[in-house]
Structure 1
Amino acid sequence: MERLLDIAEVSDRSGVSASGLRYYEKKKLIGAVARNGLRRQYEPAVLEELALICLAKSAGFTLDEIGSVLGRPGTRVIPRNALVDKAGDLEEQAERLVNLAKMVRHVANCPVVDHFECSRFRKLLKVSTRVANA
């Protein structure tokens, strides 16, 4: 049997604060398997679970979504349809950000003194309004 990890060691190795670990446990994203006095003890696999939680958060999943997608602690199967949906959302967001960067760059480099007199800027404003209201 592998040695259990103390909450402080899990925090050090994962970069998640002890209060964050307790919060994740309260949200049922991870689970302590024992206690040593008042200190929570975790299986070493919790480090992979925490890495997955951090990856999911980086991808834009909320903690509630992570809980519903990942299921209970120790689950090793991730529903692919949720990942496909999130990948699509991220691709749409990336496209919006690229277009926004182009707009900002145009405004920064536009030789027209009054940006509202620039026909391209006015077109970009219309597009951005449609995107924001979509």
Structure 2
Amino acid sequence: MPDEPLLDIGEVARRSGLAPSALRFYEKKGLIAPEGRNGLRRTYCPDVLERLGLITCARSAGVPVAEIGRFLAAGPSDGDLRVRMAARAEDLDERIGRLTRLRDSLRHAAVCAHEPIVDCPDFRRAMGNVAAGVPSPAADSS
């Protein structure tokens, strides 16, 4: 997109919702690269916003910065990374399932007339379904 004007670091921070320090950190880790400088301020191509969206989404899903960096640099022949990404996708499916069950439980609680709500058999059953996919603390301490 050569005709689009470059964005300075402040504008990228504003549009992405990230602090300038986060942008500098991502740059240091090789996840983004500035196009140059306008005085002392870094400037970026507008398409950096898409990359930052991907980075932010991956970070919110718990993907470490180093793994995001490997993903951004990966080619079709990186079989090991593909295996890790498939495993991460499975983990996300499990988390999405638990969160969906939790959401449904909370929606029930929002309209439940049982006193107290936490003793409602429907709520307790739904919360049991939420916990069903979570390892128990006793299982983790063995």
Whether the TM-score (by the shorter chain) exceeds 0.5 is yes
Per-residue CA deviations over 1:38-93 (Å, capped at 9, x if unaligned) read: 10010111000000001111221011111111128xx9xxx654432211122344
1:9 equivalent in structure 2 = 11
CA distance in 2, matches of 1:14, 1:82: 27
Number of residue-to-residue matches in the alignment:
113
From the superposition, tell whether residues 89 and 33 of structure 1 become closer, same or farther in structure 2 (CA, over 3 Å). same
CA distance in 2, matches of 1:57, 1:44: 21
1:109 equivalent in structure 2 = 119
In structure 2, what residue type is equivalent to 1:109?
D
Q: Secondary structure at the match of 1:32?
A: coil
TM-score (norm 1): 0.66
Q: Secondary structure at the match of 1:53?
A: helix
2:29 equivalent in structure 1 = 27
Q: Which runs of 5+ in 2 are unaligned?
A: 76-80, 106-117, 121-131
In structure 1, what residue type is equivalent to 2:52?
L
From the superposition, tell whether residues 92 and 31 of structure 1 become closer, same or farther in structure 2 (CA, over 3 Å). same
Q: Which runs of 5+ in 1 are unaligned?
A: 103-107, 111-123
Counterpart contact for 1:59–1:86, Cα < 8 Å: no
Q: Secondary structure at the match of 2:43?
A: strand
In structure 2, what residue type is equivalent to 1:70?
L
TM-score (norm 2): 0.62
**Are 2:136 and 1:128 aligned?**
yes
Q: Secondary structure at the match of 1:44?
A: coil
Q: Secondary structure at the match of 2:136?
A: helix
Alignment of 1:64-103 (within 5 A): 64-71=66-73, 81-93=83-95
